[in-house]
Structure 1
Amino acid sequence: MMNEQKKKSLDEINESVDVPSVYETSFVQKFLAYSGPGALVAVGYMDPGNWLTSLSGGSQYRYKLLSVLLLSILVAMFMQTLAIKLGVVARQDLAQAIAVKVPKLVRYVLWIINEIAMMATDMTGVVGTSIALRLLFGLPLVYGILLTILDVLMVLLFLRFGIRRIEFIVLTAIMIVGVIFGIDVFRAHPAFAGILNGLIPSPQILTTHRELILSLGIIGATIMPHNIYLHSSLAQSRRYDHNNPKQVNEALRFAKWDSNVHLVAAFLINALLLILGGTLFFNKGNQLTAFRDVYEGLKNSAIVGSLASPLMSTLFAFALLITGMISSITSTLSGQIVMEGYLNIRLPLWERRLITRFVTLIPILVIGFIVGFSEQTFEAMIVFAQIALSIALPFTLYPMVALTSNRNLMGSHRNPAWITISGYVLTTIIMVLNVEFMFSI
């Protein structure tokens, strides 16, 4: 069994935020007190991989794949709810809960698998940030990559603020990105009737190979291991009476509200990206395959007509820069959770961040020097990062469903049979879709 010290996930954050008792304040005040972890998790649903698939889906099929985005976020809500339940009820994150159930060798294997997944997540942030710096300032990609090492200082600065302020900063960043894309889409005058039709699933998606493959990419990029580990730990950041069943039930209730509200925000941002691609670039002669396609297209009057504007393209690149930088916070926390949970090794977060970033940069720089530092090469890395995440996914979701269905661990909060069955079925479907997507690349 793990010792008591290990059972406290992310010691710097654990139980650091006070919340009202069950007998105090209104629903809104309680929601605000519990709100925050969902924002940190939602950032993971807006990474460069999601950007590419959403923009490409819109440029090729206009609004038809909005239904796939909606389905993906509903599945994400289901899985994040299980992660919340594990953290709130068992007071363990997923890595800790798995570690006490498996032999030492298996722990090491799972740690390696998930470390690779964390680095793959970090890679998408590096790629997004470096490309955004190139689009905004013309900075060579190799310099942009090396500059991402400095985000260690950003993580240090944010952590000095405390988790509550970090949550506020991330939420503000999400709102800024949402406003940017909202402005872009509003100026593009999309067809609202077509958007509503796109939210209705079309059987043609399953029968047309290209639509199916892109749909698999959207679904496969949605559920990522680091979000599950992160949420199971952040759910423990609120301080309340764990021995009071009413307080535990309330913590579960508001943590779910927090998660679902922010995942809806993530869905809206990804939907705005797809709508932007579908409104401005559908039937324009070529599909969007790169961030530069969008950046240049937003400035090209031959493509988007009178809507062409340097401001629109600059806002797009700025939003990419924000999400790339903010994702470094969540990937750092997720990596620390995995290391602490499986190995019981504690490092200061800045050391963890520095190690992760250096290890992430090695394959990027090696590939860059061999193949060349081009945006196409870097965006191809995003695809391979998604493959790594797909491989790690079943090692994350299957144990989580099993653990939250365990009577000894969860007590009266264990999953009912229909939740357990749904969890296993959804996990299997996601895994099969990811395998299909990998073989289609």
Structure 2
Amino acid sequence: MEKKSLDEINGSVAVPDVYKNAFWKKFLAYSGPGALVAVGYMDPGNWLTSLAGGSQYRYQLLIVLLVSILIAMFMQSLSIKLGVTTRVDLAQAIARSVNKPTRICLWLLNEIAMMATDLTGVVGTAVALNMIFKLPLIIGVLLTITDVLVVLFFLHFGIRRIEIIVLIAILTVGVIFTVEVCRANPNFTQIMNGFIPHTAILTNHSELLISLGIIGATIMPHNIYLHSSLAQSRRYDEKDPIQVRETLRFANWDSFIHLVAAFLVNALLLVLGGTLFFNKGNLGNLEDVFFGLKNPNIVGSLASSLMSLLFDFALLITGLISSITSTLAGQIVMEGFINIRLPLWQRRLLTRAVTLVPIIIIGFLVHFDENQFEQMIIYAQVILSIALPFTLYPLVAITGSKKFLGEHANPLWKTILGYLFTSVITILNLLVLF
């Protein structure tokens, strides 16, 4: 018999009686998985791509960010539906549908994507430690091995408490960037103009590359796999159609609200980069933002070291918290595709050890120059974007199949829309490659 996805948390959170309790009590009970997924949309990869997009093109790429988050909402809803209605995650569902060689190839591709996700956390955490404690980047990179202990510490409290911790982290980061953007005094009218589409996104190669990085940082393969499993953490009767529909309803609300929060954080980052650095100095790396927040010529006379420290603190929080979700997603992929189960600390150590090899090699090649070192984050996002079609096409196909989902299968219009979104991302990838 096939094991349940993330068996230690599957069905571990009780929910109120569908027939008796009030809306808000139910909503709070179902809220949480969306926060764990949303934090993956706010990792250091998002930071650098959003800040770089803002510094180079001011607010023009806000439309790319908005479209990306709308597509993400659509795809996460399909992932939720798969998990809730079948009690099977996406990796398990794909593994049932393909032969062994294809399954192994997809597993390897997704492992590379997981490592690209982990890479952004390593680089972001190392940079944050460098800015706060002046630790050399190589020392910061090696110290990230210890975040295995952080993951174990959080997992010890159970999934519900992890969800609350992550939610507090999201709110903290959101408040920090709201304050910092307000201090930067952006032009509101120009921000609104950034949501108007323009053709330069497709015709300008540099702008297209940054746009693709934003897409890769916003819609990530590991979040799709993760949500299909976390949606099963609530304890409901999958044989009761009313309970299934209610679980779907509240899980989607949970996802929508937290993804809106993720969009706002990323929009604030892009606006911060566009306000501080467009025509005021080139944004080379995260350290430029750190010191820019101290510079009275950029932020104004009220700038203080507190603002730069808050920025660095937020970077450290997101780097550490995102390690939890990447660990869980990596376990889902390994279990689902090749049916190998490792304790989460071993899975975390394996992923981190393999990720550190290319990081250290590239680091020595560029002499740990921070500007070049952080470019790994940008290209990691492009790798994630290239891996996306191999996750999204199967997701759309499976959720559109009555064989898998029965009465819950996507209607034809939703399947067509899913293929359209995935095809657009694939075409953008090809444009960049050629």
TM-score (norm 1): 0.95
> By how many angstroms is 1:14 displaced?
0.4
Identity of aligned residues (%): 70
Does 2:94 align with 1:94? Answer: no
Does 2:356 align with 1:356? Answer: no
Q: Aligned equivalents of 1:380 and 1:213: distance in 2?
A: 12
Q: Aligned equivalents of 2:193 and 2:144: distance in 1?
A: 41
Q: Aligned equivalents of 2:156 and 2:141: distance in 1?
A: 25
Q: Could you say what the CA RMSD is over the residues aligned between the two structures, in angstroms? A: 1.5
SS for the counterpart of 1:100 is helix
Q: Aligned equivalents of 2:190 and 2:21: distance in 1?
A: 43
Q: After superposition, where does 1:305-320 map in structure 2 within 5 Å?
A: 305-320=300-315
> By how many angstroms is 1:265 displaced?
0.2
Residue type of the alignment partner of 2:66: L
Q: Judge which range, 377-386 or 194-203, deviates more.
A: 194-203
Q: Judge which range, 320-329 or 101-110, deviates more.
A: 101-110
Aligned residue in 2 for 1:233: 229
Q: Aligned equivalents of 2:321 and 2:365: distance in 1?
A: 29
Preserved CA contact (<8 Å) 2:293 2:308: yes
Aligned residue in 2 for 1:85: 81
Does 2:97 align with 1:139? Answer: no
Aligned residue in 2 for 1:411: 406
Aligned residue in 1 for 2:423: 428
> By how many angstroms is 1:277 displaced?
1.5
Preserved CA contact (<8 Å) 1:67 1:198: yes
Q: Aligned equivalents of 2:45 and 2:242: distance in 1?
A: 40
Q: Aligned equivalents of 2:276 and 2:217: distance in 1?
A: 24
Q: Aligned equivalents of 2:203 and 2:114: distance in 1?
A: 34
Q: Aligned equivalents of 2:386 and 2:62: distance in 1?
A: 26
Q: Aligned equivalents of 1:277 and 1:369: distance in 2?
A: 29
**2:380 alignment partner, one of 345, 364, 385:** 385
> By how many angstroms is 1:220 displaced?
3.1
Aligned residue in 1 for 2:238: 242
Does 2:34 align with 1:38? Answer: yes
SS for the counterpart of 2:294 is coil
Preserved CA contact (<8 Å) 1:188 1:307: no
Residue type of the alignment partner of 1:72: S
Aligned residue in 1 for 2:146: 150
What stretches of structure 1 move > 6 A for 4+ residues in a row?
none
Preserved CA contact (<8 Å) 1:220 1:430: no
Aligned residue in 1 for 2:166: 170
Preserved CA contact (<8 Å) 2:42 2:266: yes
> By how many angstroms is 1:308 displaced?
2.8
> By how many angstroms is 1:200 displaced?
3.1
Structure 2: 5+ residue stretches without partners: none
**2:123 alignment partner, one of 123, 127, 148:** 127
Q: Aligned equivalents of 2:349 and 2:240: distance in 1?
A: 40
**1:110 alignment partner, one of 88, 106, 110:** 106
Q: Judge which range, 171-180 or 63-72, deviates more.
A: 63-72
> By how many angstroms is 1:207 displaced?
5.1
| Aligned CA distance change for structure 1 residues 16 and 55 (closer, same or farther; 3 Å) | same
> By how many angstroms is 1:208 displaced?
4.9
Preserved CA contact (<8 Å) 1:66 1:198: yes
Deviation digits for residues 384-407 of structure 1 (CA, Å, limit 9, x no counterpart): 322332332111111110000110
Q: Aligned equivalents of 1:421 and 1:337: distance in 2?
A: 27
> By how many angstroms is 1:167 displaced?
0.6
Preserved CA contact (<8 Å) 2:132 2:309: yes
Aligned residue in 2 for 1:334: 329
Deviation digits for residues 165-215 of structure 1 (CA, Å, limit 9, x no counterpart): 011111111111101101101222222222223233345545555444433
Q: Aligned equivalents of 1:308 and 1:288: distance in 2?
A: 18
Deviation digits for residues 40-79 of structure 1 (CA, Å, limit 9, x no counterpart): 1111111222211211222233222222211111010001
Q: Aligned equivalents of 1:86 and 1:244: distance in 2?
A: 16
Q: After superposition, where does 1:221-300 map in structure 2 within 5 Å?
A: 221-284=217-280, 286-300=281-295
Preserved CA contact (<8 Å) 2:155 2:162: yes
Deviation digits for residues 134-193 of structure 1 (CA, Å, limit 9, x no counterpart): 011101111111111111111111111000001111111111110110110122222222
Q: After superposition, where does 1:209-228 map in structure 2 within 5 Å?
A: 209-228=205-224
Does 2:41 align with 1:11? Answer: no
Aligned residue in 1 for 2:47: 51
Q: Aligned equivalents of 1:190 and 1:370: distance in 2?
A: 38
SS for the counterpart of 2:161 is helix
Aligned residue in 1 for 2:371: 376
Deviation digits for residues 243-293 of structure 1 (CA, Å, limit 9, x no counterpart): 110100011111100001000000000011111122222221x33131011
> By how many angstroms is 1:241 displaced?
1.1
Q: Aligned equivalents of 2:409 and 2:80: distance in 1?
A: 12
Residue type of the alignment partner of 2:237: D
Deviation digits for residues 291-318 of structure 1 (CA, Å, limit 9, x no counterpart): 0111111111223332432111111111
Q: Judge which range, 181-190 or 115-124, deviates more.
A: 181-190
Structure 1: 5+ residue stretches without partners: none
Preserved CA contact (<8 Å) 2:213 2:379: no
SS for the counterpart of 1:373 is coil
> By how many angstroms is 1:371 displaced?
3.1
> By how many angstroms is 1:348 displaced?
0.8
Q: Aligned equivalents of 2:188 and 2:381: distance in 1?
A: 32
Q: Judge which range, 38-47 or 333-342, deviates more.
A: 38-47
Q: Aligned equivalents of 2:197 and 2:379: distance in 1?
A: 28
| Aligned CA distance change for structure 1 residues 436 and 205 (closer, same or farther; 3 Å) | closer
Q: Aligned equivalents of 1:325 and 1:319: distance in 2?
A: 10
Residue type of the alignment partner of 1:189: N
Does 2:188 align with 1:192? Answer: yes
Q: Judge which range, 260-269 or 392-401, deviates more.
A: 392-401
**Count of residue pairs brought into register by the alignment:** 434
SS for the counterpart of 1:399 is helix
Preserved CA contact (<8 Å) 1:56 1:287: no
